Amino acid sequence: MISTELRKKIRRIEITTNRLVNQAMAGQYLSAFKGRGMEFSEVREYIAGDDIRSIDWNVTARYNKPFVKRYVEERELTVLFLIDISGSQGFGSSEQLKSELAAEICAILAFSAIKNNDQVGSILFSDRIESFIPPQKGATHVLRVVRDILFTKPEGRNTQISAALEYLIRVQKKRAVVFLVSDFLDTGYRRPLYIVNRHHDLVAIQLQDPREFEVPGTGWFTLSDTETGMDICVDFSRPVVREEFRRRTDEISRATDRILSGAGIDHLKLRTDIPYESALYRFLQARARRMR
């Protein structure tokens, strides 16, 4: 059963994201994610001036006169959300948890997709596959995806992006637009990432919280690793400790940037303490310009 609080949260996300979709985002989505080519429609008799490369030789041989293949633009897309719901997604030092931010971003993109008559599905993962919702159309289906992001209690606590990508390769044969939504606090996913990006249109959405980069210099704090459950006491009043903390987090962030840029993957960074609307809009605009 879904609690009253969760129902209210889902309803708030639905109202907020629908407003954004209707006002601005749907048009930007349409420009940023176009059909990926042409699909076969029918054959017709050859007419002088037709490209001989379009001749269907099997039909031509059967009827003893030339026929050519006709194609139409493939407009309808399949959109898949590959969403990290590991323990670290339950962290948030501001008004919003990373999991809540993920739900809102996915809702905006999903509602934009169904407005364009695209299919939407999701794969939720931690260090294992937690759930798979095959692509379908409709607002009710999108709300189910949003509900699962917020409601699913993962069996695993750690993050294993490589396992999620390998699962995607197995279940999604048709080319799709794939949004990988995670904080990317993981390693060892470079090879499957490159493979997925060759077969699909892969977009990385990285979720961050300010406390992952900046800590108050006011004495001892107990840090809890939400993925391992381990606690450690750290004296952040010491400058050397704060500097080491920043160095390590910056190192992880730079490594993620190198992997994603090396694969040519579009990369959007969003923080729990900063409104996401402008950043998402600019990202879609920039991608749309590159698609022209």
Q: What does the pLDDT profile of the chain (292 residues) look like in tens digits?
A: 556 776 787 888 888 888 888 777 877 887 888 655 555 557 888 887 777 878 989 989 989 999 888 755 456 789 999 999 998 887 666 778 889 999 999 999 999 998 888 999 999 999 999 999 999 999 899 989 988 988 888 999 889 999 999 999 999 998 899 999 999 989 999 999 999 999 999 999 999 888 777 766 565 555 555 555 566 676 666 677 667 777 777 888 899 999 999 999 999 999 998 999 999 999 998 988 887 6
Q: How far is residue 205's CA from residue 104's CA, in Å, rounded to a whole number?
A: 12
Are both 13 and 102 inside the same structural domain?
yes
Are both 47 and 191 inside the same structural domain?
no
- pLDDT reported for residue 234: 65
Are both 101 and 15 inside the same structural domain?
yes
Are both 108 and 166 inside the same structural domain?
yes
User: Domain limits at 61?
Assistant: 37-74
Are both 190 and 91 inside the same structural domain?
yes
Q: Could you say which of 19, 53, 74 is where a domain stops?
A: 74
- pLDDT reported for residue 83: 96
- pLDDT reported for residue 221: 57
Q: b/e string for 42-64 if b means 16 or more Cβ within 10 A?
A: ebeebeeeeeeeebbeebbeeee
Are both 88 and 206 inside the same structural domain?
yes
Closest by CA to 78, choosing from 20, 31, 122, 38, is 122
- pLDDT reported for residue 124: 97
**How many domains does the chain contain in total?**
2
Q: b/e string for 255-277 if b means 16 or more Cβ within 10 A?
A: ebeebbeebebbbbbbbbeeebe
- pLDDT reported for residue 27: 78
Are both 66 and 191 inside the same structural domain?
no
Bridge partners, 72 (sequence order): 39
We report the CATH number of the domain holding residue 104 as 3.40.50.410
Closest by CA to 208, choosing from 128, 102, 103, is 102
Q: E strands, the chain, where?
A: 37-45, 67-74, 78-84, 119-125, 129-136, 177-182, 201-208, 220-224, 231-235, 266-271
Are both 68 and 105 inside the same structural domain?
no
- pLDDT reported for residue 135: 94
Are both 83 and 118 inside the same structural domain?
yes
Are both 205 and 267 inside the same structural domain?
yes
As a residue count, the chain comes to 292
Chain-centre distance for alpha carbon 125: 12
Are both 190 and 144 inside the same structural domain?
yes
